[in-house]
Structure 1
Amino acid sequence: MEIKDATLALSALGQATRLSVFRLLVEAGPEGRMAGDIAEALSLPGATLSFHLKELSAAGLIRGEQLGRCIRYSADFRRMAELIAFLTRNCCGGDSAQCAPVASRKAEATAPSARARSIR
């Protein structure tokens, strides 16, 4: 991933509604969610959601699949992995084995429990 691509992706995720949409799609997995379901889950008007989906799509973070009159959106997990790899490429001076266990423990410690999970 190039820095301009990372900047575009991070800029898209730097807005609260788009971050909530992206997290909802990550939670949904490869199956994704229908646009109407996303709007309902996040209490967003259709036009507002459409704007944010367009921005996330332009950043390469999500994909839309036309199903008749509806569109199902899903996170682009490959692109997400590329962004994470870009952000951590030089972690600990390039010795990622040194900091990976610390990062993993920190992620586990800060992850919400399954019952208390929230996307907002």
Structure 2
Amino acid sequence: MDLEIAAKALKELGHPTRLAIFKRLVKAGPEGLAVGALQDELTIPNSTLSHHISSLVSASLISQNREGRTLYCQPDYDHLQAVINFLQDECCVDQK
């Protein structure tokens, strides 16, 4: 994984509200949650939630899918795992 991509993901997860959103989506599973359910559960104003979701989408941490009138957010587990792997890849390589 590229350093810039990992840094972007970690930057977006470094905000408490975005981290709360992402953790809730991870907890929900691959199907994700409707935006309305996220808003209700986390009591985040709609415009604020939209801003944070946009940041997470731009970092490839979540995707969105519309079903009828409902917009769902799903976590991207592969991207999350790639970021974790990036952090762990060189663990202890300098130890003798």
Cα RMSD (Å): 1.3
Question: Which amino acid is 1:90 matched to?
Answer: E
Higher-helix-fraction structure: 1
1:110 alignment counterpart:
none
Question: Once the two structures are superposed, what CA deviation does each residue of 1:43-97 show, in whole Å capped at 9, x if it has no partner?
Answer: 11111100000000000000100111221101000000000000000012179xx
Q: Specify whether residues 30 and 94 from structure 1 end up closer, same or farther in structure 2 by C-alpha distance, changes over 3 A only.
A: farther
1:15-35 superposed Cα distances (whole Å, 9 cap, x missing partner): 000000000000001010000
Which structure 1 residue ranges, 4+ long, deviate > 3 Å from structure 2? Answer: none
The amino acid across from 1:27 in the alignment is K
Provide the TM-score with structure 1 as the length reference.
0.76
- Report the counterpart of residue 28 of structure 2 in structure 1: 28
Give the aligned partner of residue 58 of structure 2. Answer: 58
Flag structure 2 segments of 5+ consecutive residues without an equivalent.
Answer: none
Is the partner of 1:85 in helix, strand or coil? helix
Question: Are residues 71 and 94 of structure 1, via their aligned partners in 2, closer, same or farther at CA, if it must alter by over 3 Å?
Answer: farther
Q: Aligned partners of 1:93 and 1:37: how far apart in 2?
A: 44
Q: Which has the higher contact order (CA 8 A, sep 6+)?
A: 2
Identical positions, percent: 38
Structure 2 match to 1:75: 75
Gaps of 5+ in 1: 96-120
Q: How far, CA to CA, are the matches of 2:88 and 2:94 in structure 1?
A: 9
- 1:85 aligns to what? 85
User: Counterparts in 2 of 1:96-111, with a 5 A limit?
Assistant: none
